[in-house]
Structure formats: C-alpha cells, structure tokens
Amino acid sequence: MVSALTLSSAVVSSERLDAVLMESFVDNGQATMERLQQDPVQQACHQSRTEPPDAAVAATLRQQRLDAVVFPADGNFLGDWQRGAAVADNGRGLQSSDDPAQPNGGNCYACHQLAPDEVAYGTLGPSLTGYGARGQSEPMLRYTWTKLWDTHAYNLCSHMPRFGAQGILTQQQLKDIMAFLLDPASPVNQGLR
Amino acid sequence: MTRTWVWLIAMLAMPALSGDGIFDEYRDLMGDDNPAIFVIDEGEALWFEPQGPLAVSLEGCDLGLGAGVTEGAYALFPRYFEDTNTVMDVESRLLHCMETLQGRDREALLKKPYSLRGDLGTELEALVTWLAAESEGAIIAPQQAHSSERAMYSLGEEIFFYRAGPHDFSCATCHEQSNMRIRLQTLPNLTDHDDAAATLGSWPAYRISEGLVRTMGWRLQDCFRQQRWPGLKLGSEVSIALQTYMAVNAAGGVMAAPGLKR
C-alpha cells in the first residue's frame, strides 16, 4: 500500500499509452480495435479518475450530452414492462463472445436491485425497487429517459453505460425499460409478494 | 466425473441457498482438498519432461531465482529479466523458456494457451498451477527494484482507469470500490491492499463452474471480454502492467494458490 502511493505519481504519456494499447490488443470478433479510441467523455473521465473534471469543463460536457439526447419521436415514453423485464435481465450484447444478430441486453440487474423477488442483483448502482412511486409526470419521464439515454448528461463520469447515446439499446427497448421502471403494474413497483 | 459431482451438489443446494452459498458449501465439503491437485501433479511432470526439438526439460529455466529454482519464484512475479530486457509475468517467462531452451515454436505455443470450456487443461495452465503451488505460503513480493518494473506499475495504474468501448468500462468500473457485487458475485477492490492480496493470492484457481484451473492471464482476458474491449494478448504490456499494478497493491499478502472459485 505504501509502495502504491509513492509510485503513483509517475506519469505515462498519452502517446506511450496509445502505443501500448495498440500493441497489446487484437480484433476479437465484433470487439474491434477502434473501441480503444476514447471519445471526449471517456477521455475526461479517465483523466480525472474518480473525481469529476473541473467545473467549467464538466458543465460544458454535461450540456453537450444533454443537447444530444434523442427523445421518442411519437412522444410516447412507455413500452411494455414485461419486455422491459427481459431486457433488464439480459447481460449479453457487444462482447466478442456474443452473437451480433441477437438483441443486446441492458443487464440492469448487474448493478441495480429492481423487482424485489429477484435476489441476484448487484450493488454498484442504487436500488431502483419502487422507482415508479415517483409517478409518470412529464419531467419524470424526460428525466428517466435522459438517464437511460446518456447518464453523463446529469452525472458526468457515472459508471453507468450510455444505453441510447452509444446505441447499446434501441428506442423500443428503452421504452420497455421505462415501463418496467414506471408502470404501476410492473413487479418493480409491487413490493415483495 | 468431478463436474457431475459439482452440479449434483449445486442442484441439491440451490433452493435453500443464494449467491455464493452453493460454492461456499462446496468449498466446505472439499476442506483442504482442491481438484487442482491433479493439475499440480501434471504441471510438475511437464516441468521435468524433455520436450521440443532439443528434447530438454524446463529444469534450466530461470524464473528469477536461478536456473531450475521453482520454490517461491511465482510470488515474485512480474519481474525484470536481464536476458530479455523486459518485465515478464510467469506465463510469458515460461513461454520464453519453452522457446529458448526446448526450441519450440512460439506461434504454435500461442495457438491455444488456455482451455476452452469442456477442455481438460493446457500445458501452460498445468505448469502455472504447479509453480503457484511451489509458492504456497510465500509472501507476495513483486520486484520493484528496476526502473522498468516501476514503470510497469505506473502503466498498469493508468490502464486500470482507462475508460473505453461502447459501455465506457474500465477495470475501475468494477474494481475500485469495496464491498460491491455484480449480480451476486463479490467484486474485489483491486486498489485496496487486503482485497488485492486475497485476489492475487488465490490465482491461479480451480473454477468449479468450468471444471478447470484458470490462470491470471486468462482472468484478465476474460475481464476485457466483459469490458467489451478487443482481445488481450498473452504476455502483452497491458497484461503485465495490470498484473504488476495488482501485485504491488497486494505486496505483503500470502500466496494460497491454486484457489477454489465459483
């Protein structure tokens, strides 16, 4: 631990880091080398490690993310909660070992508690059990959609993936997740049976 | 045989237990036993077996403590080697010895270093398992005397926090916080000494769910698969840098490998 602290001050140049990454990885099915190139958000969040970047940079980046959010063209935010439950449960998608012809999952349970009778949930994110108690007002719908579409619009450098902005989930899948979170009939909002 | 037994236990235990429970129960049943003992024996036999075009054993291989010294060597990796002028992990050092001492073809050796599901284990996996067992009880003490070794630590730290890919994942996404779970799987905080020591000290490990011993090199490859990154090359700088970062964070811990994992 002491050695870790004393050594951590050494700096690795970005050129050196790029060269090492290019030498150390190879294309692996759909997981190709261009995935190692960082976009501005990834770069800012990497450089700042666990702390957000400085306030001005953070505000600019957040606003850019917010401006880029695409809302449902038909104005309808809510799909089918049963299909949403399946998306939340599915951990596959975009790995070299996954079939690109199959739909991607959201893998929500990896990090969040949702339906209270699913015990296999992770704890990296907050529990979302009972999320629908906050209702379905327009601000609530837009807030939740934005959070799913691009979490960095509100919480820069959050650990959560950008499910809409990065094309991980389709608009229909996001609507189904919305229903899973917000529909009063969804198990997320039922309490333990 | 072993796997049938595992699943039988798993199915019997499933309704009553959740999470790591079935694996904890399996570990309790095994006591000090570990199916990896067969892999250890296999690795030892392979070390002394004359192989390759030059038909020699690996007894001339210098793992850092002198030719043929295996006891305690694993716990000191990754480390700098003068003859290659690079920092190496145990897997790349073994490949180097197979190539230079036994005259074996590097490309052929790299064709399938790790088992696929359903395989019975590879030569590299067996050798690493035996070497880890030769360090049982040894203090984890990765070398940091040479400037290349210290540079490898800094590089590893940088890569640990590098966010990339469609999901924006870095190693830190899952491994910079304590007492967290992904689904039911407990995640070690690899920036923390105690967690890093417990992790480093228990790899390689017999994976109950796969019926195989897996090495740290394999573990890193599989992490990057889950990170949605491209394929990590065995013995690459990224692999050795991350192993150095973890090992230095774990320094002072005790080797208890091969471990027994879910």
* CATH number for the domain running over A13-193: 1.10.760.10
CA dist B120 and B123 (Å) reads 10
Q: Say if residue A192's pLDDT is above 60.
A: no
Whether B171 and B157 have beta carbons less than 8 Å apart is answered as: no
pLDDT at A51: 67
Å between B48 CA and nearest CA of chain A: 32
Q: Quote the DSSP letter at residue B86.
A: E
Q: Say if residue A7's pLDDT is above 90.
A: no
- The predicted-structure confidence for B64-107, as pLDDT tens digits, reads as follows 999 999 999 999 999 999 999 999 999 999 999 999 999 999 99
Kindly state whether B160 is in contact with chain A, defined as any CB-CB distance less than 8 angstroms: no
Judge whether B144 lies within some domain. Answer: yes
CA dist B163 and A43 (Å) reads 7
Q: Which residue has the tokens 């837009």?
A: A142
- The predicted-structure confidence for A65-99, as pLDDT tens digits, reads as follows 999 999 999 999 999 999 999 999 999 999 999 99
Amino acid at A53: P
Kindly state whether B169 is in contact with chain A, defined as any CB-CB distance less than 8 angstroms: yes
Judge whether B54 lies within some domain. Answer: yes
Burial-class residue B86 by CB neighbours within 10 Å (0-12, 13-18, 19+).
middle
Judge whether B1 lies within some domain. Answer: no
Whether B198 and B105 have beta carbons less than 8 Å apart is answered as: no
Task: Looking at B31-169, list the stretches that DSSP marks H as alpha helix, in order from N- to C-terminal side.
Answer: 36-48, 90-100, 106-109, 123-133, 147-160
- The predicted-structure confidence for B142-178, as pLDDT tens digits, reads as follows 999 999 999 999 999 999 999 999 999 999 999 999 9
Whether residue A45 and residue B168 make contact (CB cut-off 8 A), yes or no, is yes
- The predicted-structure confidence for B40-60, as pLDDT tens digits, reads as follows 999 999 999 999 999 999 999
- The predicted-structure confidence for B174-195, as pLDDT tens digits, reads as follows 999 999 999 999 999 999 999 9
pLDDT at B27: 66
Q: Which of residues 3-22 of A touch B (CB under 8 A)?
A: 3-4, 7-8, 10-12, 16-17, 20-21
Which residues lie across from B139 on neighbouring strands? B254
Q: Return the residue of B nearest to A152 by Cα.
A: B168
Q: Mean pLDDT for chain A?
A: 92
Tokens of A137: 């007002």
CA dist B40 and B44 (Å) reads 6
What is the share, in percent, of chain A residues with pLDDT greater than 90? 84
Mutate to test the interface with A, among B149, B163, B180, B191 (most CBs of A within 10 A): B163
Quick one: average pLDDT of B97-120? 96
**Domains: count for chain B:** 1
Q: What DSSP line would sit under B120-155, residue for residue?
A: ---HHHHHHHHHHHTTTTPBP-----SHHHHHHHHH
ipTM: 0.93
CATH number at residue B220: 1.10.760.10
pLDDT at B14: 38
Judge whether B101 lies within some domain. Answer: yes
Catalytic, B223? Answer: yes
pLDDT at A163: 98
CA dist A92 and A107 (Å) reads 7
Å between B189 CA and nearest CA of chain A: 12
Cβ neighbours of B185 in A, within 8 Å: 122
Q: Which of residues 126-185 of A touch B (CB under 8 A)?
A: 159, 161-162, 166-168
Whether B78 and B87 have beta carbons less than 8 Å apart is answered as: yes
Q: In A43-74, which positions are buried (b, 16+ CB within 10 angstroms) versus exposed (e)?
A: bbbbebeeebbeeeebeebbeebeeebeebee
